[in-house]
Amino acid sequence: MLKRLLSLLLLPLSALVVSAEIVHLNDGSTLHGNIRGMDDQTIVLESPLTAQELKVERTDISIIEFEGNPRSLVRRLGMGLIYRPSTGEEHLSLKNWLDDTNALELVIRYVSKSTSSNSRFNLEGRLSHVYLTKNRFDLFVGGGLGLASSGSERGTILKAFSGAEFFMVSLPDFSFGAELGFISRSTVDEEQSLYNAFTARYYF
């Protein structure tokens, strides 16, 4: 009862400070507007689609997304995979956010020894900067330096990249991403070319 009372008191206040809300309904449709009031059964939404306020049953609502609330990943750790479809490479990613726009990332790749080649190990440090946040998208640029080894051979990795990371509404701690960049690898797997990659991460 106390939680319900607090939510009824706080939610109208939050509606005053945010610019707009997105109400996701159970049938998959969405409503955009400002929440002007709510109780246990309904919410009242001021929508640009109509001059009258809309009353929506709370049982029909899946989730309410507050557009004006900034998403923050500061000091959160993301674990996931980076996949390059052109070469089939899979990398383990550990991404830590320093502030709202800058993140450090450790990228590790290990391929065990087979009958035709030596074991391979890549270790790369990357810095990325978010230059634009749009709804659930982050657009970023960055660069990376690393080391690569194959048997007794050692080499270096140099990268410059840009891309986008998308955060889901229903799973806000989970993200998908894509990036396009330039890679230069010396000695081990010599390569100088453009590359593309896809990412998936979970933030703790």
Q: What does the domain layout of the chain look like in residue ranges? A: 2-66, 77-203
Q: Which residues contact 10 (CB under 8 A, 6 or more apart)?
A: none
Q: How far apart are CA 43 and CA 108, in angstroms?
A: 48
Question: How long a stretch of residues is the chain?
Answer: 204
Q: What is the mean pLDDT of the chain?
A: 82
What is the CATH number that goes with domain 77-203?
Answer: 2.40.160.20
Q: Within 10 A of 92 (CB to CB), how many other CB atoms are there?
A: 13
pTM, 2 dp: 0.65
What CATH topology corresponds to 2-66? SH3 type barrels. (2.30.30)
Model confidence pLDDT, tens digit, residues 37-69: 888 888 888 877 777 788 889 889 888 776 655
CA neighbor of 189 nearest in space, from 124, 125, 122? 122
Question: Tell me, what's the pLDDT at 174?
Answer: 92
More confident residue, 18 or 159: 159
Q: Which residues contact 184 (CB under 8 A, 6 or more apart)?
A: 157, 158, 159, 191, 192
Q: How far apart are CA 3 and CA 44, in angstroms?
A: 20
Model confidence pLDDT, tens digit, residues 108-149: 998 876 655 678 889 999 999 999 987 788 999 999 999 998
Q: How far apart are CA 101 and CA 55, in angstroms?
A: 38
Q: How far apart are CA 121 and CA 109, in angstroms?
A: 6
Burial of residue 88, with CB atoms counted within 10 A of its CB: 0-12 exposed, 13-18 middle, 19 or more buried: exposed
Question: Tell me, what's the pLDDT at 194?
Answer: 94
